[in-house]
Amino acid sequence: MLAEGAIGAGQIAEAYKAYLTCLNLRRWNDLGHFVAEDVKHNGQAFGLAGYRRMLEEDVRAIPDLRFRADLVAVTSPILACRLAFDCTPAGALFGLPVNGRRIRFGEHAFYRFEGLRIVEVWSIIDRASVARQVVSEGSD
Amino acid sequence: MLAEGAIGAGQIAEAYKAYLTCLNLRRWNDLGHFVAEDVKHNGQAFGLAGYRRMLEEDVRAIPDLRFRADLVAVTSPILACRLAFDCTPAGALFGLPVNGRRIRFGEHAFYRFEGLRIVEVWSIIDRASVARQVVSEGSD
């Protein structure tokens, strides 16, 4: 049973799907529909403007970045997503010389929603996997 | 609505809570109640014996390791958990010279359940955060 005013898991899952579509279409001006003004990211008070900047920088570093949800679990107001990336970063990524090679890696992110907007994100990216791919490709 | 034979989110959340208690009490002989014989971990076919060995090694490296669920989200058959660790590893951890210092770090894990047992795990540990803590403490 939901507390009064609480949003159901299905609605949160739908909002998140629309958020990923917004990112994949690079519709930065729509980001405020999905992300709150006072959003926090890994404990830092990014705010919507800082959050947008982070995404724009990610896309600059990885022009073919596509956000694909591999696994999703929701218990309102928390949504967790395993994102699976398959991309070719232009230069360095996480300080590693990827230089246009194709790499695959995961990100595990938890989001807290207020209404249908994301207010807090906890994210861990599998950098060790990127490092392994750069090293193993480099030694071919 | 649940498909016939499917397990509800509440039951999975309860089973996961009991699994964490089992780990915190180091009841390795009970692990098979919570983890399937053919369990996979990050794509590797560990099996129950390999999974137990991994946990025993974790506890050897971090004697005061305590599994604490910080955030949990469930959409049957997937449960996602942000685990928050606050511990003092005895020697090295992830190749970093922690040497008895107190460190805090997160792990974001997704589990796929079959019935009330874990059959697959996708886990990312925030190693970068451990590295930052070792470096900043080292420079005090």
pTM of the model: 0.93
pLDDT for A137: 58
A128: chain B residues, CB-CB within 8 Å: 127
Name the residue among A9, A71, A78 with its Cβ closest to that of B110: A71
Which two structure tokens, joined as six digits, stand for B135?
A: 């470096």
Q: What per-residue confidence (pLDDT) applies to B140?
A: 44
Query: Which chain B residues have a beta carbon less than 8 Å from that of A123?
Result: 108
pLDDT at A94: 85
DSSP for A23-84 reads HHTT-GGGGGGTEEEEEEETTB--HHHHHHHHHHHHHHH-TT----EEEEEEETTEEEEEEE
Closest to A73 (Cβ–Cβ): which among B78, B106, B126? B78
Of A78, A79, A124, which has the smallest distance from its Cβ to B108's Cβ?
A: A124
Interface ipTM = 0.92
The answer to whether the CB atoms of A79 and B73 lie below 8 A apart is: yes
Q: Do B78 and A74 touch (CB under 8 A)?
A: no
Residues 6+ positions from B33 with CB-CB distance below 8 Å: B18, B22, B117
Question: Facing residues of B80 across strands?
Answer: B73, B110
Tens-place pLDDT, residues B4-31:
557 899 999 999 999 999 999 999 999 9
Q: What is the amino acid identity at position A67?
A: F
Task: Please report the pLDDT score of residue A5 as a whole number.
Answer: 59
A96, burial (CB in 10 Å: exposed 0-12, middle 13-18, buried 19+): middle
For the beta sheet containing B117-125, the strands, ordered from the edge strand earlier in sequence to the opposite edge, are: B35-41, B117-125, B103-114, B78-87, B69-75
pLDDT of residue B26: 98
**Structure-token match 């685990």, residue found:** B83
Residues of B with CB under 8 A from a CB of A: 9, 13, 71-75, 78-80, 82, 106-110, 122, 124-128
Distance from CA of A129 to the nearest CA of B (A): 10
pLDDT in tens, B70-126: 999 999 999 999 999 999 998 888 888 888 899 999 999 999 999 999 999 999 999
pLDDT in tens, chain A (140 residues): 555 557 899 999 999 999 999 999 999 999 999 999 999 999 999 999 999 999 999 999 999 999 999 999 999 999 999 999 999 998 888 888 888 899 999 999 999 999 999 999 999 999 988 888 987 755 44
